[in-house]
Structure 1
Amino acid sequence: MNDSERVLWTAFIEGRACDLRVGNEEFDAVESAGEWGPERRIRADVVTRLALGEAQVPAGRAPQLLIRGARITGKLTLRHGRAVCPLLLEECAFDDPLDLTRTELPALSLRGSRLPGLDGYALSLKGDLNLRDVVSGAVDLFGAQISGRIWLVGARLSCADGYALSAPDMDLAGGLYGGARFVAEGGVNLYGTSVGAGAEFDGAYLTNPRAPALRAHNISLGGDLSLIDVQLIGGISLFGADIGGQLWLNGATLLNDEGWALSAPNMSVRGGLYARSGFTADGGVNLYGVSIGAGVELDGATLSNNRGPSLRAPHATVTGDLSCGDGFGVNGGGITLAGARIAGRLSFWGAELGGGGRGDDPVTLDCAEASLGELSLKQLCSVPETVLLTGATIRTIHDDAQFLPAHLDLNRTQYDMLLPHLPAQERLAWLTHGADGHYQPWRYEQLAAYYRRLGHDEDARTVLLAKQRHRRRTLRWPSRLWGYLQDLLVGYGYRPARAFGWLTLGVTLTACYFALFPPTPANGTKGPHPDFSPFIYAVDVLLPVLDLGQQQAFLAHGPGQWLVWASVTGGWILATAVIAGMTRALSRA
C-alpha cells in the first residue's frame, strides 16, 4: 500500500473518516483532480477489500467507509458483492465507472464526486443513495431496490447515446429529489418505477434529442410529482402513470419538436394538476383518458402544436374544475375535450382562443359528447373559430355578447341554465350564428324547453316559430309556399292572435261592401226571409263551420259574388292554417 492507502486502512479500523483534502478550496475541487499527486490517490481494489470486510474492526464498532478528497484509480467494482458498511465516497474523482451490479449496500453516498458513470443494475440499498452535486456519465439503476431516498440536487449527469439516469422498474421506498441545479443531458428514464413518497425536480434541466426528457410510463408515486420551473427539452411522457398526490407543473417549460410536450394518456392523479404561472408546452399536451381527483389549473399557460391539438383530453375525468383562464392561450390546433367528464366548471375566462403563433391557425374548441357541470365562455380575449358542443350535457352555460364563433354546433346539446338570462330574440342570434345554414331542430327544441322551464312561454313560442321558419328554407317550393301562408296567417300556430286579426279584417271588409251593395233574397220578393245584417252575413260567409242562415237567404250578385267566393276560400284556408298550427303547437307542448 502507498501512504494514502495506509491512512485509509487505519482510519477504517478506527472508525474515522479518511479526509485527504488540504484546505485549499480551489485545489481540493474535483475539477483539479488531475493535479493531485500520489498522496491523494487510492487504488479501487483497496476500497473494495475494505467494503467487503477484509479489515478487522474492533467488536462493538460499526464499520464505515468514508473517504473525502481522494482520486480513486482503477475500476471500483463490487459486482454481486455484499458490503459490510455504508460506502461514502464524497468529493472524490474516479478514473473509471463504478460497477455495483447486484451489489448489496447499507447506503451509498457519492456527494460532490466526479465519475465516468455508475452501473447499479439490480443494486440493493437499505439506506439512501446520495448523488448530490455529482458530475457523472450515465447512471444505471435498472431494477434497483432502494429502501431509503435518492438525492440528485445539484447533480450533472450526461449520456450521449442513452438516458443520463436510467432507472426503469426501480423500487424506491422513499422519495426522489432532483430539485434545483439538477441537469440530465440525455434525460431521465423512470419507466415502471415505484416511488413510495414523491418525486421532485423543481428547477431541473433535462434534455433528450431522441426521446422524452422525462420518461415515466406506468410510474407509481405515493406522493406528489413536482416539476415546478423545470425545463424539459424533449418533453415528458407519463403514459399510465399513477400519482398519489398532486402533479405540479407551474412555470415549467416543455419542448418537443417530434411529439407531445406533455404526453400522459390514461394517467391517474389522486389530487390536482397545476400548470399555471407561465407554463409553456411547445408540442401540445395530451391528457387522453386521464383521471384527476381534484381540479386542473392551466391559468396563464401557453400551449402550442403545429401537428395537432394544443390540448387533447378526450374522455378525461376531472372531479373538480378545469380552468383555462387569465391569459391562457393556444397556438394552432385547438382544444379537444370530446367525451370528457368534468364535474365542476370548464372555464375559459379571459383566455386567448383565437389562434396566433405559427401561421395564425384557426382554433377549434371541441366538447362534443362531453359532460360538464358548467361551461364559462365569458370575456374571452379572442373567440375560437369553431366550437363543437354536439351531444354535450352541460348544467350551466356562461357566455356574453362577444361569444359569437364563426362555426357553432349545438346539435343535441343539453343544458339546464343559460347565464346571463336574455330574451329569446337575443338568444336566437347566438343560436343561429355560425350554424352554416344547417337545419338542426334540436338546438331550437332545447332552447324552447329552457324558456318553458323558466315559465317564459312567449319566449318559447318565439324560438319554435324561428325553428319552423328555418325548416321552411329546406323544403320544396309547394311546401315552402304553404309554410309562408301558415306563417302569415297564424305564425305556424305560435301566433294564434293573428287569426283573429285576419278574421276581423275579413269580416269588416266583407260587411262594409255588402252594407253598400246588399245581396238580394234567395227566393226573390216572395215568401218570408230574415232581415239582412251585413255583419252576420260576413261572419256566415267567412266561417265555414257556422251556419247563421244569412248566406242561404241572400244571394250576392255582380262583384259581390267574387267577394263571397274569395271570403269562403279565405275562410277555409284560415281555418286549415289555424287547425294545423294549433295541432303542431299543442303536440310540442
Structure 2
Amino acid sequence: MLPLTDTEKLVCDALGRGARVDLAGRADRTVRAELLAALLTGAPGPALRLDHAVITGTLDLEGRVVDTVVTLRWCTFEQAPRLMKARLVGLGLRGCHLPGLRARNLRVRSDLGLEAGFTSAGTVDLTDSVVEGTVRLSGAVLRRPGGNALLAARLRVSGSVTAVALHAEGEVRLRGANVGGSVHLTAAHLSHPDGAALEATGLTVAGNLLCDARAGRFDAAGRLVLTGARIGGDAVFSGAHLHDPGRQDGQILVVPHGSVDESFVLDAERMKVDGDLKLDAGFVAAGGIGLRSTRIGGHLLLAGATIGRRESAAPLPALFAAGRAVERVPVALVADGVEVGGDVEARAGLRAYGQVRLVDAVVHGSASLSGARLYTPGTDALFADRLRVGGTLFLRRVLVSGSVRLQNAHIGSTVDCSGARLIKPRLRQNGSVKPSLDARVATVGKDLLCGKGFLAVGGVRIRLVEVGKLVSFRGARLGGRTRRGHPVTAVALSAYGLSAQELVLSFPPGRPPRGRVVLARARVVSVLDGPALWAATGGVDVEDFAYQAVAAEPEVGVRTRLRWLRAVQPDFAPGPYEQLAAMYRAGGDDERVRVVQFERQRRRYAEQHLLGRVWGRLQEWTVGYGYRPWLAILWLAVFWLLGTFWFAAHRLAPLDTGQQPVWNPALLATDLVLPIVDLGQDNQWQLAGPSQWIAAGLTAAGWILATTAAAGATRVLKR
C-alpha cells in the first residue's frame, strides 16, 4: 500500500478513539477504500465516523466480519461498495453518493441507514440480507431508470423500514421480504413506467404498510404489486397517487363467464390485511385496482377516492348513443372473492371510471356506495353477482352511468337505493337495453328501497327475489331514455316470482313506468299502488299475482280497479279477477266480490264465439251471471205479470167439465212461474193453442229464474 496521506493518517488516528472526522473544507478529502477495508478488518476501533470524504477505489468487505460501527456521512464513493455476505455491527451512509451498493446476504446487527440525501446512481442490492434493527431510507434517492433501483427480495428486518420521502427511479423490489415492524413509504415517489414501481409479492409486514400523504403525497408511476402480501396492521394509501404510464387503455375484453386478462396499477390479489385497507381521502389510481381474493380483517375505505382511467371510458357514450354493445370494458376495481371483516365505506365522493367488480365478495358488515359516481356507459358499472353483505347495502343518491348487477346476491338487512340515478344502462349485442338494476334471484333480509327520486332508465329486474319485508318504488321513475335518440327498454319492472311482505308501486303522477311491468307469480301480503302503475306504457302482467290486501294512493273503488284490469289485459285471463275477489272475500266484503265476479263473467263471455256472446249477454241481463239474484226475482215478477195479463185476456176452459173451478189468472200465472209451489191451478184448466206455449215458457223461465234466486239466497245464508 502506498504511504498514507495526511488525511488518511487523520482517519486512522480517529478510528482508534472512535472520534468523528469531518473533511469538509480540506483541500484533500480523498481516502482510499482499501485503507478503510484494512482498518475495519484489521485492528478496528470502536467506530468509524467519517464525513465529507471522497472514497476512491472499491470498498470491498465481501464475507468479512466487522465489529466496528461504520458511520459515513455525505461521503462520495467512486465505486460501488462490495458488502456481499459481510457481517456488520451497524452501517450508516447518510447523505452519501455512490454508483450503487452490492450487499446481497449482508447481515447488520443493528440499523442500516441509507437516508437523508443518500443517493445511488445504480442498483442498491440488499437481496437476502438480514437487518436486526431498522432500515432507514427516508429522503434517499435511488436512480436506476428502466432497471432496479432497490433489490430487497427476501430481506429480513427485525424493526421497521422507514422510507418517508424516498425517491426511486426504477423498480423497488421487496418480494418475499419480512418486516417485524412497519413499512413507512409516506410521501415517497416511485417511478418505473415500464413495469412495477414497487414489486412486493409475498411481502410480510407485522405492523402497518403506510403509503399515504400525511407528510406529502405518495406517488407511484408504475404498478404496485402486493400479490399475496401479509399486513399485520393497516394498509394505508390515503391520498396516494398511482398511475401507470405504460398501460394506456385500461380495458379488458369481455369473454364468456367473465374470464379476463388485465393488469392493474395496484395489484393486491390474495393479500391479507388484518386491519383496514384505506384507499380514501383523495386517493387517485389512474388505472385498475386488483383485490381479487383479498382478505381484510377490518374495513375497506374508498371514500373520496378516484379510481380508473377517465380517457379509457371516454369512447363509451358514443357507442351507447349508436346502440352498439361494449366489447372492451374499462375496469376500475376488481375485487372478486374479496372478504371484508368490517364495512366497505365508499361514501363521500368515490369516482370510478370503469367497472367495479365485487363478484363472490363477502362483506361481514355493511357496504356503502352512497353518493358515489360510477361511470361506465353501456355496460355494467357495478358487477356484484353473488355478493354477500351481512348488514345493509347503501346505494343512496349514487349516480351510475351504466348498470348495477346484483344477481344471486345475499343482503342480510336492506338494499337502499333511495335517490339513486341509473342512466345509460348496459346494451346487449343486438342493441336492446338490459336492466339498470338487475338483482334477479337475490335475497334481501329486510327491505328493498327504490324511492325518493330513484331513476332507472333501463328499468329494474327483481325476478325471483326474496325480500323479508318491504319492496318500495314510491316516487320511482322507471324506463324511458337518457336523451333523444338513445335506446329504450321494453320492460320497466320485472318482478316475476317476487316474494315480499309489502309491495309499494306508487309512481309519480304523470310519470308512469315507460315499459312493461311484470308482476306475474309474485307473492306479497299487501300491495300499495296508484293510477300511474296501471298507466304503464307496456301494460302490466298480473297473471298469478298473489296478494292478501290492496290499497291505492289515492284510495279507489272496486270499479276503478276493474277498469285498470281491463286497460292492461286486452285478452281475458281469469286469474287476476279470482285473486281480487279472493282478497275481498277474505275481508268479508261480499258486495265487492259480486262486482268482481260479475265483471269476470262478463269479460269471459265477451271473448267467446257469437252464440257464447249471446248466451252471456242473456245471463247478464236476466240473472247477472248468478251474482245478482234480485234480477231473477225481478224477471219472475215480469213473467208473472205477462202471464197474468195473457190469461186474463185468454180465459181457459176447465179440464173437467164436471167441475166448476174458480177462474183466477193471477193464481194460474203464479202456479206456472213457481214450479216448486203447487197451487193446483195448472191441473184445472185445459191448455191449448198459444196458451199451451205460453204456459210452457212460463214454467221453463220459472225453473231457471227460481234456481238462480235460490242459489243467490244460499250465498246470502252462508254469509
Query: Which category describes the TM-score, using the shorter chain as reference length?
Result: 0.7 to 0.9
Q: Can you list the C-alpha shifts for 1:17-63, whole angstroms capped at 9, x where unaligned?
A: 9589xxxxxxxxxxxxxxxxx99342388965599457xxxxxxx83
Q: Can you list the C-alpha shifts for 1:438-457, whole angstroms capped at 9, x where unaligned?
A: x2212111111111111111
Structure 1 residue 531 displacement after superposition:
0.9
Alignment gaps of 5+ in structure 2 = 1-32, 34-50, 54-70, 76-87, 97-114, 192-196, 248-262, 313-328, 428-433
Structure 1 residue 562 displacement after superposition:
4.8
User: Residue 240 and residue 44 in structure 1: after superposition, are their counterparts in 2 closer, same or farther (change >3 A)?
Assistant: farther
Residue aligning to 2:134: 64
Structure 1 residue 96 displacement after superposition:
1.1
- In structure 2, C-alpha distance between the alignment counterparts of 1:319 and 1:582, rounded to whole Å: 46
User: Residue 285 and residue 3 in structure 1: after superposition, are their counterparts in 2 closer, same or farther (change >3 A)?
Assistant: farther
Residue aligning to 1:25: none
Structure 1 residue 557 displacement after superposition:
5.9
- In structure 1, C-alpha distance between the alignment counterparts of 2:366 and 2:562, rounded to whole Å: 43
Specify the SS of the correspondent of 1:184. strand
User: Residue 169 and residue 355 in structure 1: after superposition, are their counterparts in 2 closer, same or farther (change >3 A)?
Assistant: same
Structure 1 residue corresponding to 2:372, chosen from 248, 252, 258: 252
Alignment gaps of 5+ in structure 1 = 21-37, 55-61
Residue aligning to 2:639: 506
Q: One-letter code of the match for 2:452?
A: D
Structure 1 residue 266 displacement after superposition:
0.7
Aligned pairs (5 A) from 1:32-71: 40-43=117-120, 52-53=129-130, 63-71=133-141
Specify the SS of the correspondent of 1:154. coil
Structure 2 residue corresponding to 1:352, chosen from 456, 460, 477: 477
- In structure 1, C-alpha distance between the alignment counterparts of 2:560 and 2:636, rounded to whole Å: 32
Contact 1:366–1:388 (8 Å) recurs in 2:
yes
Structure 1 residue 147 displacement after superposition:
0.9
User: Residue 235 and residue 94 in structure 1: after superposition, are their counterparts in 2 closer, same or farther (change >3 A)?
Assistant: same
- In structure 2, C-alpha distance between the alignment counterparts of 1:244 and 1:573, rounded to whole Å: 69
Specify the SS of the correspondent of 1:447. helix
Q: One-letter code of the match for 2:448?
A: L
Residue aligning to 1:320: 446
Is residue 378 from structure 1 mapped to residue 506 from structure 2 by the alignment? Answer: yes
- In structure 2, C-alpha distance between the alignment counterparts of 1:231 and 1:584, rounded to whole Å: 69
Contact 2:126–2:150 (8 Å) recurs in 1:
no
User: Residue 493 and residue 354 in structure 1: after superposition, are their counterparts in 2 closer, same or farther (change >3 A)?
Assistant: same
User: Residue 528 and residue 42 in structure 1: after superposition, are their counterparts in 2 closer, same or farther (change >3 A)?
Assistant: same
Is residue 391 from structure 1 mapped to residue 461 from structure 2 by the alignment? Answer: no
Is residue 190 from structure 1 mapped to residue 256 from structure 2 by the alignment? Answer: no
Larger fraction in helix: 1
Is residue 424 from structure 1 mapped to residue 508 from structure 2 by the alignment? Answer: no
Structure 1 residue 530 displacement after superposition:
2.0
Structure 1 residue 546 displacement after superposition:
4.1
- In structure 2, C-alpha distance between the alignment counterparts of 1:213 and 1:363, rounded to whole Å: 29
Q: One-letter code of the match for 1:451?
A: Y
- In structure 2, C-alpha distance between the alignment counterparts of 1:191 and 1:49, rounded to whole Å: 30
- In structure 1, C-alpha distance between the alignment counterparts of 2:461 and 2:606, rounded to whole Å: 33
Residue aligning to 1:450: 583
- In structure 2, C-alpha distance between the alignment counterparts of 1:373 and 1:350, rounded to whole Å: 19
Structure 2 residue corresponding to 1:301, chosen from 411, 420, 429: 420
Specify the SS of the correspondent of 1:467. helix
Q: One-letter code of the match for 1:425?
A: R
Q: One-letter code of the match for 1:149?
A: D
Range 346-355 or range 336-345, more displaced: 346-355
Structure 2 residue corresponding to 1:7, chosen from 73, 79, 93: 73
Q: One-letter code of the match for 1:126?
A: A
Residue aligning to 1:269: 389
Residue aligning to 1:114: 189
Structure 2 residue corresponding to 1:564, chosen from 688, 695, 717: 695
Contact 1:124–1:146 (8 Å) recurs in 2:
yes
- In structure 2, C-alpha distance between the alignment counterparts of 1:50 and 1:472, rounded to whole Å: 90
Specify the SS of the correspondent of 1:284. strand
Structure 1 residue 217 displacement after superposition:
0.3
Structure 1 residue 122 displacement after superposition:
0.8
- In structure 2, C-alpha distance between the alignment counterparts of 1:82 and 1:68, rounded to whole Å: 18
- In structure 2, C-alpha distance between the alignment counterparts of 1:190 and 1:90, rounded to whole Å: 25
User: Residue 18 and residue 454 in structure 1: after superposition, are their counterparts in 2 closer, same or farther (change >3 A)?
Assistant: farther
Structure 2 residue corresponding to 1:151, chosen from 211, 230, 236: 236
Q: One-letter code of the match for 2:701?
A: G
- In structure 1, C-alpha distance between the alignment counterparts of 2:127 and 2:200, rounded to whole Å: 19
Residue aligning to 2:467: 342
Specify the SS of the correspondent of 1:276. coil
Structure 1 residue 123 displacement after superposition:
0.9
Contact 1:351–1:380 (8 Å) recurs in 2:
yes
Specify the SS of the correspondent of 2:396. coil
- In structure 2, C-alpha distance between the alignment counterparts of 1:319 and 1:53, rounded to whole Å: 53
Q: One-letter code of the match for 1:63?
A: G
Aligned pairs (5 A) from 1:163-202: 163-202=264-303
TM-score (norm 1): 0.87
Range 253-262 or range 65-74, more displaced: 65-74
Q: One-letter code of the match for 1:82?
A: R
Q: Can you list the C-alpha shifts for 1:199-236, whole angstroms capped at 9, x where unaligned?
A: 10111111154542100001000011112221111120
- In structure 2, C-alpha distance between the alignment counterparts of 1:365 and 1:65, rounded to whole Å: 60
Residue aligning to 2:208: 128
Q: One-letter code of the match for 2:512?
A: V
Range 355-364 or range 154-163, more displaced: 355-364
- In structure 1, C-alpha distance between the alignment counterparts of 2:124 and 2:525, rounded to whole Å: 69
Structure 1 residue 108 displacement after superposition:
1.3
Structure 1 residue corresponding to 2:351, chosen from 231, 235, 260: 231
Contact 2:126–2:155 (8 Å) recurs in 1:
no
Q: One-letter code of the match for 2:218?
A: V
- In structure 2, C-alpha distance between the alignment counterparts of 1:520 and 1:18, rounded to whole Å: 142
- In structure 2, C-alpha distance between the alignment counterparts of 1:86 and 1:50, rounded to whole Å: 17
Specify the SS of the correspondent of 2:163. strand
- In structure 1, C-alpha distance between the alignment counterparts of 2:385 and 2:504, rounded to whole Å: 25
Aligned length: 556
Structure 1 residue 170 displacement after superposition:
0.8
Aligned pairs (5 A) from 1:500-539: 500-523=633-656, 526-539=657-670
- In structure 2, C-alpha distance between the alignment counterparts of 1:337 and 1:8, rounded to whole Å: 69
> Which structure has the greater CA radius of gyration?
2
Structure 1 residue corresponding to 2:705, chosen from 565, 571, 574: 574
Is residue 402 from structure 1 mapped to residue 503 from structure 2 by the alignment? Answer: no
Contact 2:72–2:93 (8 Å) recurs in 1:
no
Structure 2 residue corresponding to 1:489, chosen from 602, 606, 622: 622
Structure 1 residue 428 displacement after superposition:
1.4
- In structure 2, C-alpha distance between the alignment counterparts of 1:390 and 1:576, rounded to whole Å: 38
Contact 2:628–2:712 (8 Å) recurs in 1:
no
TM-score (norm 2): 0.72
Structure 1 residue 408 displacement after superposition:
1.2
Residue aligning to 2:152: 78
Contact 1:192–1:217 (8 Å) recurs in 2:
yes
Contact 1:391–1:414 (8 Å) recurs in 2:
yes
Larger fraction in strand: 2
- In structure 1, C-alpha distance between the alignment counterparts of 2:714 and 2:267, rounded to whole Å: 71
- What is the alpha-carbon root mean square deviation over aligned residues? 3.0
- In structure 2, C-alpha distance between the alignment counterparts of 1:559 and 1:359, rounded to whole Å: 73
